[in-house]
Homo-oligomer: A and B are copies of this chain.
């Protein structure tokens, strides 16, 4: 058993002074390492003569797929636990932090969301030079480490792998990081709590994060967020495929700007020009008219909207679906509701670890939902808001603040963060929305909400070309501009409904995050198209 307490001074590792000192040290070390040369030389050890650790540490030559390279089996950091005690393992991971003190060097290795403590002690087989070399490896470098797994009965509080630590016997740098980091992973990973005074000083601001996204994405939270996002996508597709949906791919380059041409990006297309699709809706509907019956598509959606808010992106991932029904659009609406229930269950059951990791940095109340989901009618929502002092006209849309208030009222009354709002006023929906057959001011349309924010808007679409023409005229739309849309329904089309979901918004709201840029790997907004 070894001492698993970090050296003194490690208690406040994040004071600015300490960071600066460290960076300088690291820079020096890196320069030295660089000088000794690595990547095109065969010499792979920088140890000196008489070094007992000779051949046990150094910089590896650049891995160029030399067939002569020794092949080792590596253990994942997340697999390191008591069951491996006293075993010798090889780990390839990042050097998260390093602190040297005299004859000891403490390293934290990080791999994705997981960290483990490593101890390098001067001993019969570990030389001073090896400890010195280790303590000079720049943070974020990738190293190959040979080590003995040792139980840590007191627990390693600072690491995800608390049961064990590693006692190093070899350490090799596989890929060296520049010594100066534009952001510290520790800072970018620190919990952000509203009442955390210390926290306020050491947050990494969003632009710094996004400018240096390759580093920022390495935080355990980001590793977890984007695994959850992949999960939402996977669940969306798996659930719909089981329900008989067919995946389709719709073009992003389109000939005409839909719905009047506002908020559309223009593309130069050979000698002419084209537009970027704001939605795959026309194509989904064409697939329905072409007998695919139930379709979904996952892909980029573009909005040239100059909205600089916490929830708008100019490019996002649309999870879209469209479905023929027999008699009533509720066949579709409830399919979508059920889809969400299944996604929420899948996330809760399959992403427990990831959700907890995100929660450690950005705390949020766990997401609640009902099975089957709550369905409210628009007039009910108006009544609830009126009782809370907010009057909404019967043909008026909900403002964003009203939506949020409604979300709180629904949560208080029904204890759910997800619900469906059915029967929107006809006046606030697009021309292709099917009017309610009984109530002239209502329509066969619905929105769905997570934590009081809209995440999908959908409706029964008009599938009859004559009625569609009539409704378009009623909206003052020049029929000639939408002729090809109307023509899609000319040769027989089943009644159908559908909707489009914003992936990043679902992940943001599920996790209770405050900004959609946290759930887009490389976000695009009016002011940012890089990296």
Q: A residues within 8 Å of B by Cβ?
A: 39-40, 62-67, 69-72, 74, 92, 94, 111-112, 138, 140-142, 174-178, 181, 213-218, 222-223, 226-227, 229-230, 233-234, 237, 241, 246-255, 265-270, 274, 276, 282-283, 286-287, 289-293, 298-300, 302, 304, 306, 314-315, 317, 326-330, 434-438, 444, 460, 463-464, 466-467, 484, 487-488, 490-495, 503, 520-522, 524, 526, 529-531
Distance between Cα atoms of A526 and B274 in the complex (Å): 12
6 A-B pairs besides A63-B463, A65-B437, A216-B290 with CB distance below 8 A are A65-B327, A65-B328, A217-B292, A226-B292, A237-B237, A484-B531
Question: Which residues of chain B have C-beta atoms less than 8 A from A40's C-beta?
Answer: 467
Q: Indicate which residue in B112, B216, B230, B463 contacts A248 across the interface (CB closer than 8 Å).
A: B230
Instruction: State how many copies of this chain the complex holds.
Output: 2
Interface of A is mostly: loop
Q: Indicate which residue in B267, B286, B521 contacts A283 across the interface (CB closer than 8 Å).
A: B521
Task: Check if A467 sits within 8 Å of B178, measured CB to CB.
Answer: no
Task: Check if B234 sits within 8 Å of A247, measured CB to CB.
Answer: yes
Task: Check if A267 sits within 8 Å of B269, measured CB to CB.
Answer: no
Distance between Cα atoms of A267 and B303 in the complex (Å): 13
Task: Check if B464 sits within 8 Å of A494, measured CB to CB.
Answer: no
| Closest chain B residue, CB of each to CB of A181 | B491
Assuming A290-B214, A491-B214, A494-B174, is B484 touching A251 (CB within 8 A)?
no
Distance between Cα atoms of A253 and B530 in the complex (Å): 9
| Closest chain B residue, CB of each to CB of A494 | B142
Q: Indicate which residue in B65, B215, B460, B484 contacts A530 across the interface (CB closer than 8 Å).
A: B484
Question: Which residues of chain B have C-beta atoms less than 8 A from A292's C-beta?
Answer: 112, 217, 223, 226
Question: Which residues of chain B have C-beta atoms less than 8 A from A248's C-beta?
Answer: 226, 230, 521
- Nearest CB of B to A62, in Å: 5
Task: Check if B491 sits within 8 Å of A215, measured CB to CB.
Answer: yes
Assuming A213-B286, A230-B246, A503-B249, is B530 touching A175 (CB within 8 A)?
no
Distance between Cα atoms of A94 and B521 in the complex (Å): 44
9 contacts between A and B (CB under 8 A): A65-B437, A67-B438, A71-B326, A74-B326, A175-B492, A177-B492, A223-B292, A234-B237, A266-B268
Q: Indicate which residue in B255, B290, B495 contacts A63 across the interface (CB closer than 8 Å).
A: B495
- Chain B CB count within 10 A is highest, among A267, A269, A315, for A267
Task: Check if B291 sits within 8 Å of A223, measured CB to CB.
Answer: yes
Query: Which are the 7 A-B pairs with shortest beta-carbon distances?
Result: A217-B290, A177-B492, A230-B247, A64-B437, A63-B495, A177-B491, A65-B328
- Nearest CB of B to A371, in Å: 24
Question: Which residues of chain B have C-beta atoms less than 8 A from A270's C-beta?
Answer: 304, 306, 526
Q: Indicate which residue in B65, B255, B298 contacts A529 across the interface (CB closer than 8 Å).
A: B255
Distance between Cα atoms of A520 and B39 in the complex (Å): 45
Q: Indicate which residue in B176, B269, B291, B298 contacts A94 across the interface (CB closer than 8 Å).
A: B291
Task: Check if A492 sits within 8 Å of B255, measured CB to CB.
Answer: no
